[in-house]
């Protein structure tokens, strides 16, 4: 829809950027921190591990100073469960508490709003050993951890995010080194884990409202609008299947406290509905997010997948690939969208899809929306004189912000934008040469060099964007 007059971003719009603990902090075994599943996960050959990363743990003051120079109004980061509770439960590690206390105070001293993710892919190893999210007790362990966070940081935090990309953990579990399992019916295990995470999230949201009445809390899934490959009705059905399985299953449970009916019938068909105990649905119904945070990287395009008697052996696909190379017989088939360009890693680029996604979320849930990840991974080049000309990143972000602005005209209650990532960090599974930050960290895959911080061209650009409240793009 064309708009004659652009309303622009609200005055108090939360401009900022994001990171996650295990991808940026390093210091994986310092000051009493326990191991998380990320600290011990296997990494593809030729990519680095998460032991030092960008060493934010020791450099947070310098880094936050840079964030303030860019004019950040908000900074979205995650707390490592294993810094607070090295074994996931039990004794509190006061040094871990101190680190996040200092970090939060540092942000507040610059007037930067801390937006805290409680759990970003880094389940404590000690909990994983006992069965991780497959066991019901992990729900209580998470609630106990949440209670500590609200007790210790509740007076300073206005925005909490429960679980980062729960949907990606379920759909990409093995890639992320978390919930994946290539057993006979991987879907059965994954959707049981999903049910437990949904309950843990609901309990945390309720607890937050009881313990920190002024704070706001919401889920943080990865959401993409889904296009049918053609106007063929069967393709449209496939798009609806995929939207439900990828997006709405998670948000319908978080917002409405019920299972999405299409996703449920899919799980029934695959024999992987979760065991729901008495009272579970009441717990889901009783929790209400104040907003939805979501990560957006690309849209998805899908076509009909035909299942007939000759290819009847269909399994649940728990490794759905954002880059289109997946098929689940009789449900959906990923298609490359011929209208979109791709980045160096094969991820499609779709700024208009960003507006579509914002609109769809608004229509469906009618809640305020904040974007907690969006960005371009690239092989940046450090040139002589400490220069990084990342015009491609500026182009990517500009186009997305433009579309976000139009979504505000469309009526979307869009209140914050925190792209990925504030500073270079280690990618989930593609090493540290895949960079996203506004600030370059001088290190290679295996050579830590001097970890020097260097402002990229996008740093200066984003500073102007924030200063002009999104008017100067
Ligand atoms: C999201 C994760 C982030 C981040 C980002 C980029 O799914 O929440 O942790 O890593 O994707 O992905 P990648 O690092 O694979 O390029």
User: Which residue, judged by its Cα, is nearest atom 9 of ligand 1?
Assistant: 428
**Average pLDDT, integer, range 323-343:** 88
**Average pLDDT, integer, range 194-198:** 97
Give how far the C-alpha of residue 214 lies from the chain's centroid of Cα atoms, to the nearest Å: 24
Pocket test for ligand 1, best of 43, 80, 294, 428 (most atoms within 8 A of CB): 428
pLDDT(182) > 90: no
Catalytic site includes residue 373: yes
pLDDT of residue 48: 82
Domain spans of the chain, in order of start: 14-297+347-467
Does residue 79 contact residue 56 with C-beta atoms inside 8 Å? no
pLDDT(322) > 60: no
User: Which residue, judged by its Cα, is nearest atom 14 of ligand 1?
Assistant: 427
Which atom of ligand 1 has the smallest separation from the CA of 428?
14
- pLDDT tens digits for range 382-440: 999 999 999 999 999 999 999 999 999 999 999 999 999 999 999 998 899 999 999 99
Which atom of ligand 1 has the smallest separation from the CA of 426?
14
Distance in Å, CA 234 to ligand 1 centroid: 32
**Which are the contacts of 399, defined by CB distance < 8 A and separation ≥ 6?**
351
Tally Cβ neighbours within 10 Å of residue 395. 15
pLDDT of residue 318: 47
pLDDT of residue 323: 55
Distance in Å, CA 431 to ligand 1 centroid: 11
Residue 245 buriedness (CB in 10 A; 0-12 / 13-18 / 19+): buried
**Average pLDDT, integer, range 344-355:** 96
Catalytic site includes residue 165: yes
Distance in Å, CA 435 to ligand 1 centroid: 11
Smallest Cα–Cα separation from 156: which of 201, 103, 218, 94?
103
pLDDT(268) > 90: yes
Q: CA triplet 443, 447, 448: central angle to 5 degrees?
A: 50
Which atom of ligand 1 has the smallest separation from the CA of 23?
9
Residue with tokens 């947070």: 60
Distance in Å, CA 295 to ligand 1 centroid: 9
**Average pLDDT, integer, range 82-111:** 98
- pLDDT tens digits for range 41-76: 888 777 888 899 999 999 999 999 999 999 999 999
Residue 4 buriedness (CB in 10 A; 0-12 / 13-18 / 19+): exposed
Distance in Å, CA 426 to ligand 1 centroid: 9
**Average pLDDT, integer, range 215-240:** 97
pLDDT of residue 407: 98
pLDDT of residue 319: 46
Which entry of 113, 327, 360, 373 is annotated as an active-site residue?
A: 373
Mean confidence (pLDDT) of the chain:
94
**Average pLDDT, integer, range 169-174:** 84
CA distance 372 to 115: 9
Ligand 1 pocket, Cβ-based, cut-off 6 angstroms: 20, 23, 164-165, 168, 222, 295, 373, 377, 420, 427-430, 434
Distance in Å, CA 428 to ligand 1 centroid: 5
CA distance 48 to 172: 20
CA distance 234 to 109: 55
pLDDT(153) > 70: yes
Tally Cβ neighbours within 10 Å of residue 289. 25
Range name among 178-187, 247-256, 316-325 with the lowest pLDDT average? 316-325
Pocket test for ligand 1, best of 319, 347, 348, 427 (most atoms within 8 A of CB): 427
Distance in Å, CA 3 to ligand 1 centroid: 33
Which atom of ligand 1 has the smallest separation from the CA of 427?
14
Please determine, looking at this structure, whether the domain spanning 14-297+347-467 carries the CATH number 3.40.50.720: no
Q: Express as a percent the part of the chain with pLDDT over 90.
A: 87
Does residue 350 contact residue 298 with C-beta atoms inside 8 Å? yes
Q: Express as a percent the part of the chain with pLDDT over 70.
A: 94
CA distance 408 to 414: 6
Which entry of 106, 113, 128, 165 is annotated as an active-site residue?
A: 165
């Amino acid at each position: 829809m064309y708009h004659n007059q652009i309303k622009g971003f609200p005055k108090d719009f939360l401009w900022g950027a994001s990171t996650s603990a295990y991808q940026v902090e390093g210091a994986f075994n310092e000051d009493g921190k326990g191991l998380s599943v990320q600290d011990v996960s296997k990494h593809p050959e030729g990519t680095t591990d998460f032991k030092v990363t960008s060493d934010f743990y020791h450099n947070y003051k310098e880094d936050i100073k840079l964030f303030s120079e860019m004019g950040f109004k908000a900074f979205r980061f995650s707390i490592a469960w294993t810094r607070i509770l090295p074994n996931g439960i039990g004794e509190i590690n006061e040094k871990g508490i101190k680190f996040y206390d200092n970090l939060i105070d540092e942000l507040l001293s610059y007037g930067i709003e801390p937006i805290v993710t409680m759990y970003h892919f880094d389940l404590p190893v000690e909990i994983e050993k006992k069965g991780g999210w497959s066991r019901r007790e992990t729900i209580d362990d998470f609630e106990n951890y949440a209670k500590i966070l609200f007790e210790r940081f509740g007076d300073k935090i206005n925005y909490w995010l429960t679980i980062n990309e729960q949907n990606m953990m379920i759909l990409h579990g093995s890639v992320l080194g978390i919930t994946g399992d290539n057993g006979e019916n991987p879907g059965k295990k994954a959707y049981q884990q999903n049910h437990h995470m949904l309950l843990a999230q609901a309990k945390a949201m309720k607890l937050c409202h009881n313990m920190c009445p002024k704070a706001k809390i919401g889920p943080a899934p990865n959401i993409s609008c889904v296009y049918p490959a053609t106007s063929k009705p069967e393709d449209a059905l496939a798009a609806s299947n995929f939207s439900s399985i990828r997006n709405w299953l998670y948000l319908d449970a978080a917002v409405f406290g019920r299972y999405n009916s299409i996703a449920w019938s899919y799980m029934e068909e695959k024999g992987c509905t979760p065991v729901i105990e008495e009272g579970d649905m009441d717990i889901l119904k009783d929790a209400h997010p104040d907003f939805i945070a979501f990560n957006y990287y690309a849209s998805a395009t899908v076509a009909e997948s035909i299942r007939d008697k000759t290819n009847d052996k269909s399994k649940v696909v728990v490794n759905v690939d954002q880059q289109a190379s997946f098929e689940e017989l009789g449900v959906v088939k990923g298609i490359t969208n011929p209208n979109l360009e791709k980045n160096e890693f094969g991820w499609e680029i779709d700024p208009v899809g960003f507006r579509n996604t914002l609109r769809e979320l608004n229509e469906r849930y009618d809640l305020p929306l904040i974007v907690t990840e969006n960005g371009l991974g690239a092989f940046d080049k450090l040139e002589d004189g400490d220069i990084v000309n990342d015009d491609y990143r500026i182009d990517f972000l500009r186009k997305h912000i433009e579309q976000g602005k139009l979504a505000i005209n469309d009526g979307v209650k869009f209140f914050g934008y925190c792209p990925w990532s504030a500073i270079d960090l280690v990618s989930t599974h593609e090493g540290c040469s895949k960079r996203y930050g506004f600030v370059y960290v001088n290190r290679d895959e295996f050579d830590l060099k001097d970890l020097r911080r260097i402002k990229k061209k996008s740093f200066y650009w984003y500073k102007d964007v924030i200063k002009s409240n999104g008017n100067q793009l």
